[in-house]
Structure 1
Amino acid sequence: MRIDRVKLIAEMARQDITSIRLAEKAGVSRVTVSAVRCGKACSPATAGKIAAALGVPVESIVRKE
């Protein structure tokens, strides 16, 4: 599963949240957040954690394949 990096970065900017803070809130590593921001694939569970930490539905940040 891939998160749309543009949507993720835009949502992070809208909420004024750093990668470090997002990683803490989502319960994933900073490296994982950085990888996702660079367009790498992640597990559905990780995508769900990131979406929950941002308070958005996972469908709003995943890339449509």
Structure 2
Amino acid sequence: MRIDRVKLIAEMARQDVGVADLSQRATVSRATITALRGGKSCNANSVRRVASALGVTVESLLEDGKEH
């Protein structure tokens, strides 16, 4: 699953959340957050955890026109 890196970065900035803080909240590694911010693909469970930690839907983080 690939999310829109710009949407993720913007949401993190809006909430003033850093990589380390988000990784702790989402219980995923910092490397996973860094990979997502870099536009890499990630497993659906990690994406769900990150979205939940940010209080947003998975769909709001997905690339436009992509299904989960």
User: What TM-score bracket applies, with the shorter chain setting the length?
Assistant: over 0.9
> Which residue identity lines up with residue 28 of structure 2 in the other structure?
V
Q: 1: CA distance between counterparts of 2:33 and 2:43? A: 12
Q: 2: CA distance between counterparts of 1:44 and 1:35? A: 14
Q: How does 1:22-61 map to 2 (within 5 A)?
A: 22-61=22-61
Percent identity between matched residues is 54
Query: Which of structure 1's runs of 4+ aligned residues deviate more than 6 A?
Result: none
Aligned-CA RMSD value: 0.7
How far the C-alpha of 1:48 sits from its partner, in A, is 0.2
**1:14 corresponds to:** 14
* Residue ranges of structure 2 left out of the alignment (5+ in a row): none
Structure possessing the higher relative contact order (Cα contacts under 8 Å, 6 or more residues apart): 1
The total of aligned residue pairs comes to 65
Name the TM-score, length of structure 1 as normaliser: 0.96
Name the TM-score, length of structure 2 as normaliser: 0.92
* Residue ranges of structure 1 left out of the alignment (5+ in a row): none
How far the C-alpha of 1:21 sits from its partner, in A, is 0.3
